Structure 1
Amino acid sequence: MNQAKIPKQRKIIDRKKLSGDIAALVAEHGEKARQPIIDLLRAALDAGRDELAERLAKKPSSGHECSGGQSFLIDQIVRLIHDHVIENVYPPGNRSASERMTVTAVGGYGRAEMAPHSDVDIAFLTPSRRTPWCEQVIEAILYFLWDLGLQVGHSSRTLDEMVKMAKSDLTIRTALLEGRYVWGDRELYEEAGRRFYSEVVNGTEQTFVTEKLQERNERHRRLGNSRYLVEPNVKDGKGGLRDLHTLYWIGKYIHKVRSASELVDVGLFTPQEYRSFRRAEGFMLAVRCHLHIITGRAEDRLTFDMQREIASRMNFADRTGKSAVERFMQFYFIQAKRVGSLTGIFLAHIDEQFAQKRARKGFFAGFTVRPRMLKGYRVYGGKIAAPGDKWFQDDPVRLIEIFQIAESEGLEIHPETMRQADRDSALIKADIQNDPRANALFLDLLAGRNDPEMVLRWMNEAGVFGRFVPDFGKVNSQMQFDMYHHYTVDEHTIRAIGLLNRIEKGELTKDHPRSAKLIHRVNSRRALYVAVLLHDIAKGRGGDHSVLGGDVAEKLCPRFGLDDQETSLVAWLVRQHLLMSATAFKRDLTDPKTIEDFVIEVQSLERLRNLMILTAVDIRAVGPGTWNSWKGQLLGELYDNAQERLRLGHVRHGRKERVAAKKAVVAEELADRSELVDEVGKFFGDAYWIAEPEDVISRNLVQYKVARGLEEQLSIHCEYYAARGATLVSVIAADHPGLFYRIAGGIHLAGGNIIDARIHTTQSGWAVDNFLVQDPSGSPFREERQLGRIKTSISDALANRIELAPQLAKRPLPISRSKAFVVQPRVIFDNRASNRFTVIEVNARDRPALLNRLARELFENQLIVQSAHVTAYGERAADTFYVTDLLGQKITSSERLASVEKALLDAASDRRQAELESV
C-alpha cells in the first residue's frame, strides 16, 4: 500500500515529536540515554500497534490499510533509531566517500505489507568497501531493534556483494526485488537499484520464472497441494498470499513494474482481474493481521479455533443451515479460488510471451505453425481456443462444449479462452441450463474416460460449473466445519469423481479390488457418476443433506438426460450414501439381523454394487489417510454378506451349519494342530464361532491351549494383523466384572485406540477378548517395543497397579484442536438392530480413553458388553456397544434406559473430562 494514503499517520506514530523527545533524553542523560530511549520507542511501538489494532477492529476487512500501517510504523522507528545513532552515538565528523549507508526494506516489509508480528527484513547497503563506521552504525541500529523485541532479518553488503549474491541466490534476488528505500543515502539506494536490474535481472527473466514456479510447486506440495484444505495457511498455502506475491514478483522481474497495478498496463491482467487481485489480497491480509493480533505472534495457519474468532471479528453472522464460521471460510475459499484462476491466466500469458520471443529467434524465425480446427475451435500446442471474442456470446452452449471437447481430446484450454469463459459465464441462464444439447455435453464430460476431474476443476475455476448446475454453485467453496473433512464440498466432490474415473481405469485395483470389478458390471455408469456428483449437493441447507439431496437428484437427473430408472437409482443412492459405511463401521456384521436390515433397505444387487463404489470414493475423497484396509475389509465383508443374501434370498445355512463350516476351515488352518478344534473349541459357544473370523479363532485356540498348559492367570498376545490394517490384541483371563473396561484402559494408556472389540466367556469361566488397535494416526503398532508396552499396560491395569481414571485423563488429545468444536454428547438405544442384544450408540467428542470411560459406566450399570465398535470422524467419536443385562436379556425398561443414558452422557461430557484432568 502507498503509505501516503494511510490516514491520520501521526495517530499511529509522531516521528517529529519523538525525535524531539529523544534529543531531550540525550541532553538529560548523555551517554546513559540508551535505556530511556528504548523505553520511549517501545511505548511508541506498542501504542502504534494498539492504534492499528483498533482501526482493524472498526474496519475488519481493511487488510491493505492495516499492513501498510504496520510498515509505516516500523519505518518511523527505524528512521528515529538511524538518526539517533549517527547524530548521537557514532557521529561521523568529516565523512569519506566510503562512509555512506542506505537502509532498505526488503521482502514483505519492502512491499509495505506487514502483519503485526511479521519479521522486519532490512538490507544495509554500503559503497565498494565497508568502513568501521558503517559497521558500528549497523550494529548499533540492530541492537536497538532487537531490544525493542522485533524479529529482524538483516543483511549487510556492499553493492558488489549484493550483485554477486543476488546472481547466485534466488531468495536474495526475490527479496531485493521488493527493495524499498527507508532511510539513509538516497543516491546509494538508487545506484543499487540500477545495478540490480542491469547486472542481475537483465537476461535472466526466463530462468527466474522457472525457478520461482519450481519453488511455488514445492511449497504447495509441502503444505498439502490444495487450495481447499480446511485449515489453510494464509501466507504460504495454495491460493494464499504467497501465490499473489509470486505473480507480482514475476511481473516485476520481467516488465520492471513498480506496483501490482502496472500489471494491467503491460497486459498481464484486465482491470477487472486486477480488482479481483486487490480484493483477494486485501481480504487475506486482513485475515493474517487478525491472526497475529489474536495470537500475539507471527501465526499464519488458519486453524479451527482461529476461524471461529476471526469470523466473529469480521462480522460474519449465522444463516439458516450455515454457521458464521462456515460463511467466513466459504468467502475465504472463494478468494483462494480466484487467486488460482488469476495464477493460471497470468502464467499462461507469461509462457506465451516467452514462446513468442523464442519464435522470433533462431532458424525458425518468421515461421508460424498453423493451428488445426476442431469443431470450430482452434487447437495449437495442445491447447484449445475460441476462434473469436464473441464465440460464447453467439452460442452460450459452447461454454459447456469447450470443456467437454477438452476432456475427450486431452487438451488444455487456452488462457485467453478461460478468461472469456469466466467473463461470459453469466450468459448461462435457465434456457441454457435446460438445453438438451448442453446437458448431453455436460453428462459426457462428467462421465468422461480421460480426466474429468481436471477439466471439471477448470470448469469450476471459470465459474461455468456453478452457473450451469446452480445447486453445485451453492456448495462452491463451502467448508464443512469439522476435523473429518479435509476439503471444501466442491473440491471433495470433484476429487470423488476423479477417484471413480481412476477405479474404472484400473488404477486403484489394489486398494479397491471389489469396486474395480463392480464398476464394469453396473447397468448405467453415467448414473453412478451423477450420483457421485450429487451425493453432497444439499450440504449447508439446514436439514438432512442426504434427504434433501435426493430431492435435488429427482429434479436434476431428468434435466441431465437420465431416464426414470436411472433417476430413481441416483435419488436412492444420494439418500442412502451413508448407509453402507454406518452399517459396516457401527454394527456387528456377524449378527444376522445386521445383514437382514441392510438388505431390506438395499433390495437389489444393482443398488448394492453402486452403493459399494459410491461409499468407497466418498470416504477416500474426504482426505489423505481416511481410507485404510480396515475400512475396506469391513465394507467388503458387508458387501459379501449382503450379496449372498440378495442372490439366494435367504440365509444359506442355519446356525448349526455355519458353526460346523467355520470349524472345518479352522481345522484346515491349524493343520497338524487341528485337534484343538475339538479339544479346546468345545469350551467356546456357538456365538464365538459365528462372531470371530477363522484366522483369529486359530490364534485364540493356540493361545488358550498354551495359557492353560502353563496355568497362567493372564495371557496377552499382540501382533500386527495385516488383513485388518490394525494390531490384534487377544487377552485370556479369568472372567470377572469390569474386565473389559480395565483392558480398554490399559490399551489407551499405552497410546492405542481401540477400533473393534469382541468379548467372549468360555463355558469353563475364562474370558477371551479380542481387540483391534491402531495408533492415533490410524496406523497399526508393529514394533516389538510398542507391542511390549501394550502388554505391560494391560497387565498393570488388570492387577490394579495403576489408577486408570486420573492417568487416562492426563493423556493429551491426539489432536488438541478438537476443543474448537462443540460436540453435544448423544446416546441412541436400538432394540431392533439385533435379535439378542440392545445396541447402544454413543456420539461424543473424541478424547483419550472415551471407550474405557463408557465401558466402565456400562459395567457399573450391570450391563454385559458382548462387542464394541468404534468409529472416529475427526473430533467426533461414535462408539457402539452390543449389551445385555446380567440375565442375558435386552434392556427394555424405560426407567432403566433413562438411567443408563444419564450415566453415559455424564461419562462423555466435557465437564467430566475437566474434573478428571484436575485430579
Structure 2
Amino acid sequence: MTSTDVHKDVEDSGPSGYAAARLRLLQEGARSGPPRRTALSELTDDWLSGLFAAGAEGLRGVSLVAVGGYGRGELSPRSDLDLVLLHDGGDSAAVAALADRIWYPVWDLGLALDHSVRTPAEARKTAAEDLKAQLGLLDARHIAGDLGLTAGLRTAVLADWRNQAPKRLPELQELCAERAERQGELQYLLEPDLKEARGGLRDATALRAVAASWLADAPREGLDDARRRLLDVRDALHLATGRATDRLALQEQDQVAAELGLLDADTLLRQVYEAARVISYASDVTWREVGRVLKSRAVRPRLRAMLGGGKQVAERSPLAEGVVEQDGEVVLARAARPDRDPVLPLRAAAAAAQAGLPLSLHAVRRMAAGARPLPTPWPAEAREQLVTLLGSGRPTIDVWEALEAEGLITRLLPDWERVRCRPQRNAVHIWTVDRHLIETAVCASEFTRRVHRPDLLLVAALLHDIGKGWPGDHSVAGEIIAKDVAARIGFDRTDVTVLSTLVRHHLLLVDTATRRDLEDPATVRSVAEAVGSQSTLELLHALTEADALATGPAAWSSWRGSLVADLVKRVSAVLAGDEPDDPGDAVPTAEQERLAIEAIATGSPVLSLRAQTEAPAPTEDQPAADPEPLGVELLIAVPDQSGVLPAVAGVLAMHRLTVRTAELSTLALPDGVEGSVLLLNWRVAAQYGSLPQAARLRADLVRALDGSLDIAGRLAERDAAYPRRRGVVAPPPRVTVAPAASRHATVIEVRAQDAPGLLFRIGRALEDAGVRTRSAHVSTLGANAVDAFYVTGHEGTPLPSEEAASVARKLEETLRG
C-alpha cells in the first residue's frame, strides 16, 4: 500500500477509510517490525492531519502534537494515541470545537486516546509538576498546524529538562526503581510485562531521557536492537490477542512466537530475556554514571577552593596486578596489557567482587577487545581467580553480568552459551538457568566453612545445571560437560571425578530424602554407592542446600533440610562401615503403643496432633537455623482394615491440610493384647489459617471409614468452585515403578499436577488395585506433586514385576481420567 493509496482512502471516506487502510496494513505479513510501526504512524498522521485541517479552517496559532510512543513513531497495533492540541491562548471556543472534531472520530473507531489541550506555558507547567508528562513531551513531534508553535514548545521543554536534570534525574531513577520493585525483572519472568518490568520498554525510554539531558549517556551498543526486539514482540502480542496488553502470558507465547516466525515459546522468551538483559545492564551503567556526575558537580566547587583553582586529579587505589579503583569503580591500570595478560579479566573480576565494586564499562570493553585467550589447561592463577570470584558472595552477580554483557563469559566457558538466558518453565524456579547457576554459587559461598574443599563446592555450584542446554537428562549431560570444563580449567583427575560426580548427583539427596523410605536399608546403601566417599558426601550436602536456596522459596525449608540431614547422617554411617538398621527391627515408641492399645480397646481411630516448630539442632558444621514451623506430627492408630489410606488422605484434604510425609505400618502389640493395629505417622501443615481440632478430624475419619462421609463428592464440589486458569493445560500425570529401590516393597512413583484430594485419589486407586501401602513419601514443588508409595501384596512382599507394572498403568489411567 503506497502513501498515495493511504491519502486517497482517507480523503474518500474519512474515518472508515482510515480504518480500512489500517486493517490492511496490520494484515500485511511482509511488512512487520519498524517498517509497519513507521507506516502505521504515518497513516495515523495523515488521517489526523485531515481531521485537523477540516476543523481548523481560518484558525491560527494552533498545532497538533504527538507525544510519548506515538511521538517516537512507535505505534503498535493497539497502542494509545498520545496527543496534545497546542494553542497560543487565542479563541478558546474555537480551540475546544477543534478538539471535538479530532477526539470524537478517534473514539468512534474504538482507539485509545490520551489527550490534552494546552498552551505552551501550560504544557511546561504541567511538565514541571509531573515527571511522566515531561518525559512524554521530550518526544514531542509535530503533526499538523503551526509548526513554529510546536518547535518552540519542543525547544523550551528540552531546555527545561537539561536545566532541571540534577533534580529530575534522581526522581526518574527512583521512579524506575519503584516500578522494578512492583513488576520484577523482565529477564527472569515467565509472564513478563514487556513495558513496565525492569529491562523493558519503560527503561529504554528512561535511557533516552537521560541522554537528552546531556548529563550522561547509555552504552549504545545493542541498545537499539534490544528496544526494537521488545517492540516487535509487543506488536505480535497485540495482533495475537487483539488487545492492548503488554503482559506476555503463558497461553499466548506460542502464538506470539509463530507470529514472529520463531521456533517455539522458549525461543521467544530467550530473545525477550536477551533484550531485557541489554537494557538492564545499560541502565545500571547509566545510572551509575549519573550518580558519579552529580556527585562530582557537588564536590568540585569545594575542591577548587581547596586547591586554589588547580586541576583535580582522580585518585587511583591498587587492588590487584593491573587493576585499580577509581571513582568507585574498578578500572585497569595504565600499564595493564590485556593482550599480554590472559588472566587479567578474571583477576579484575575477582578484585571487583572482593571489593564490592562495579567493573568499569570501559575496562570490560577494553578486555573484551584485546584479551588473549587462556591456554588449556588454565594456569593455576586463572583457576584461583575464578574460585575467588565465585566465592565473593552477592557482589559476584553484578561483576559476572558485566563480563557477560561483553561476551567474556562465553569466551572463558564456551558451554555457557547454551544456558545463557534459558527460561525454566517451572514455578519453583525464579531465575533463568544461567542466573540460577550464579545464585547457587553465591549461596554456596556461605557454606565454604563447612567443607574441606570450598573450591570444588563453588565450581560444582557453577556447573551443576550446565546440562540444561542439551537434550535428555540434564544431570547426565551435565556430568559429561563438567568433566570437560573441569579438565580445561586445570583440575587434576581426582578433582575432575569429584566434580562430575557432584553434577551427576546434585539432586540425589533431596530427591531421596523426600521420596524414599529412609528406614529402608536399600535406600541408604544406594546413596552411599553413588556418592562413594565422606568428602564427596560433605560437598554434595552443601551443594544440595545451595541449589535449593538459589531455586526459590518453595524449594527449601527447615523440614526438607531436616530430611536431607537425616539421610546424610545415615549415609555417612554406612560409608564409615556401619550397616543400616533393618526396618523390621523398629520398636514402637511409648506414645505409639498407647494409641494402639486405645484403638483396640475402643474399636475406632485414635489420633494426636503435635506441632513441630523447632529447627534442627545445630551441629559443629551446621550453624543454628532460624526457627521455622516444620508442620504438625499427626499420629493415627486404626484397627487394621481396608481403605485407611484414602480415608485419612480425604479427610485431611477436606480440612485443607497439606501432607508432607506419610508412613503406614502394622504394629505388633504387647503380649495379652489381641488384634492388629495400623499406625499412621504423618507430618501435615495447614494450607492457611489454623489447624482443625483433633476431635473434628477423628469424627470425620470415623464417618469416612464407615462410608457415611462422601469424601469424593465433597472434594469435587470444592474443586468445581475453583475453576482452572484459562488457557493453562497441565502435563499429563506419569506413574512409574522404581526398580531395585527396596528389598521389602515395590516403589511406585507418581508425578502429577498438585490438586486438593490428589493423595485421596491415589490411595483409593491403590486400594482398588488390591495392594497394601506400607509408606508414602510426598513432595510438592510448585504446582507439581512428586510422590513415592511403598506397596506390597497382602502377604507383605514386593509385587512381581508384571503385577507392579499393571498397578502403575491402572493408577496412571485413573489419574488421567
SS in 2 for 1:621: helix
1:333 aligns with 2:273: yes
Pair 1:620–1:69, CA change in 2 (3 A):
farther
Match of 2:129 in 1: 168
1:832 to 740, 751, 772: 740
Whether the aligned pair in 2 keeps the contact of 1:826 and 1:844 (CA below 8 Å) is yes
1:762-911 equivalent positions in 2, closer than 5 A: 764=675, 769=680, 771-773=682-684, 780-783=687-690, 799-801=708-710, 803=713, 806-807=716-717, 810=720, 812=722, 818-819=728-729, 823-830=731-738, 832-894=740-802, 896-909=803-816
Match of 1:475 in 2: 419
Rounded to whole Å, the distance in 2 between the matches of 1:309 and 1:718 is 50
TM-score normalised to structure 1 length? 0.77
Whether the aligned pair in 2 keeps the contact of 1:727 and 1:782 (CA below 8 Å) is no
Whether the aligned pair in 2 keeps the contact of 1:499 and 1:621 (CA below 8 Å) is yes
1:625 aligns with 2:554: yes
Rounded to whole Å, the distance in 2 between the matches of 1:130 and 1:535 is 72
Rounded to whole Å, the distance in 2 between the matches of 1:766 and 1:536 is 46
Range moving further from structure 2, 161-170 or 590-599: 590-599
SS in 2 for 1:740: helix
Pair 1:366–1:212, CA change in 2 (3 A):
farther
SS in 1 for 2:248: coil
Match of 1:489 in 2: 433
SS in 1 for 2:65: strand
Whether the aligned pair in 2 keeps the contact of 1:177 and 1:253 (CA below 8 Å) is no
Matching residue's letter, 2:453: S
Rounded to whole Å, the distance in 2 between the matches of 1:629 and 1:556 is 34
2:83 to 122, 133, 136: 122
Match of 2:109 in 1: 148
Q: Percent identity?
A: 26
1:408-453 Cα shifts (integer Å, max 9, x gaps): 34433222212323444xx554637744443343233233478434
1:69 aligns with 2:39: yes
Rounded to whole Å, the distance in 2 between the matches of 1:79 and 1:791 is 77
Rounded to whole Å, the distance in 2 between the matches of 1:786 and 1:239 is 49
Pair 1:128–1:83, CA change in 2 (3 A):
closer
1:741 aligns with 2:670: no
Pair 1:481–1:309, CA change in 2 (3 A):
farther
Pair 1:449–1:542, CA change in 2 (3 A):
closer
Match of 1:189 in 2: 150
1:208 aligns with 2:168: yes
1:523-534 equivalent positions in 2, closer than 5 A: 523-534=452-463
Alpha-carbon distance, 1:168 to partner: 1.9
1:284 aligns with 2:193: no
Rounded to whole Å, the distance in 2 between the matches of 1:153 and 1:140 is 15
How many residue pairs are counted as aligned between the two chains?
788
Match of 2:617 in 1: none
Match of 2:567 in 1: 638
Whether the aligned pair in 2 keeps the contact of 1:838 and 1:883 (CA below 8 Å) is yes
Match of 2:620 in 1: none
2:660 to 741, 744, 755: 755
Rounded to whole Å, the distance in 2 between the matches of 1:788 and 1:233 is 48
Matching residue's letter, 1:330: R
1:342-361 Cα shifts (integer Å, max 9, x gaps): 33444444445445545654
Matching residue's letter, 2:156: R
1:8 to 2, 11, 31: 2
Whether the aligned pair in 2 keeps the contact of 1:382 and 1:411 (CA below 8 Å) is yes
Matching residue's letter, 2:587: V
1:20 aligns with 2:12: yes
Whether the aligned pair in 2 keeps the contact of 1:595 and 1:642 (CA below 8 Å) is yes
Rounded to whole Å, the distance in 1 between the matches of 2:769 and 2:21 is 60
1:231-258 Cα shifts (integer Å, max 9, x gaps): 3322222222222211111112337xxx
Match of 2:399 in 1: 455
Whether the aligned pair in 1 keeps the contact of 2:322 and 2:336 (CA below 8 Å) is no
TM-score normalised to structure 2 length? 0.86
Match of 2:181 in 1: 221
Rounded to whole Å, the distance in 1 between the matches of 2:533 and 2:682 is 34
1:197-219 Cα shifts (integer Å, max 9, x gaps): 34x32421122221111111222
Match of 2:623 in 1: none
Rounded to whole Å, the distance in 2 between the matches of 1:485 and 1:390 is 41
Pair 1:531–1:901, CA change in 2 (3 A):
same
SS in 2 for 1:297: coil
CA RMSD of aligned residues (A): 3.6
Rounded to whole Å, the distance in 2 between the matches of 1:46 and 1:129 is 36
Whether the aligned pair in 2 keeps the contact of 1:102 and 1:186 (CA below 8 Å) is yes
Unaligned runs of 5+ in 2: 615-628, 670-674
Alpha-carbon distance, 1:612 to partner: 1.0
Rounded to whole Å, the distance in 2 between the matches of 1:598 and 1:494 is 27
Rounded to whole Å, the distance in 2 between the matches of 1:382 and 1:474 is 34
SS in 1 for 2:142: strand
Alpha-carbon distance, 1:767 to partner: 5.6
Whether the aligned pair in 2 keeps the contact of 1:603 and 1:646 (CA below 8 Å) is yes
Match of 1:659 in 2: 587
Rounded to whole Å, the distance in 2 between the matches of 1:125 and 1:366 is 49
1:244 to 189, 204, 211: 204
1:618-651 Cα shifts (integer Å, max 9, x gaps): 1121234332233222222222333344446224
Rounded to whole Å, the distance in 2 between the matches of 1:495 and 1:251 is 33
Alpha-carbon distance, 1:333 to partner: 2.4
1:384 to 307, 311, 330: 330
Whether the aligned pair in 1 keeps the contact of 2:207 and 2:286 (CA below 8 Å) is yes
Rounded to whole Å, the distance in 1 between the matches of 2:47 and 2:335 is 52
SS in 2 for 1:254: coil
Whether the aligned pair in 2 keeps the contact of 1:808 and 1:849 (CA below 8 Å) is no
Matching residue's letter, 1:621: A
Alpha-carbon distance, 1:133 to partner: 3.4
Pair 1:363–1:465, CA change in 2 (3 A):
closer
Alpha-carbon distance, 1:45 to partner: 2.5
Matching residue's letter, 1:600: E
Matching residue's letter, 1:633: S
Pair 1:826–1:527, CA change in 2 (3 A):
same
Pair 1:607–1:208, CA change in 2 (3 A):
same
Rounded to whole Å, the distance in 2 between the matches of 1:45 and 1:729 is 67
Whether the aligned pair in 1 keeps the contact of 2:605 and 2:701 (CA below 8 Å) is no
Whether the aligned pair in 2 keeps the contact of 1:440 and 1:561 (CA below 8 Å) is no
Whether the aligned pair in 1 keeps the contact of 2:631 and 2:684 (CA below 8 Å) is yes
1:199-598 equivalent positions in 2, closer than 5 A: 200-225=160-185, 227-254=187-214, 269=219, 273=221, 276-317=222-263, 324-354=264-294, 357-358=297-298, 361-364=301-304, 366-372=310-316, 374=318, 375-387=321-333, 391-424=337-370, 427-429=371-373, 431=375, 434-448=378-392, 451-501=395-445, 503-504=446-447, 519-598=448-527
Whether the aligned pair in 2 keeps the contact of 1:71 and 1:114 (CA below 8 Å) is yes
Unaligned runs of 5+ in 1: 1-6, 23-36, 88-93, 256-265, 318-323, 505-518, 667-676, 684-703, 913-919
1:758-797 Cα shifts (integer Å, max 9, x gaps): 345667566654554457xxxx433368999989987886
Rounded to whole Å, the distance in 1 between the matches of 2:367 and 2:2 is 43
Pair 1:378–1:523, CA change in 2 (3 A):
closer
1:51 to 1, 6, 25: 25
SS in 2 for 1:538: helix
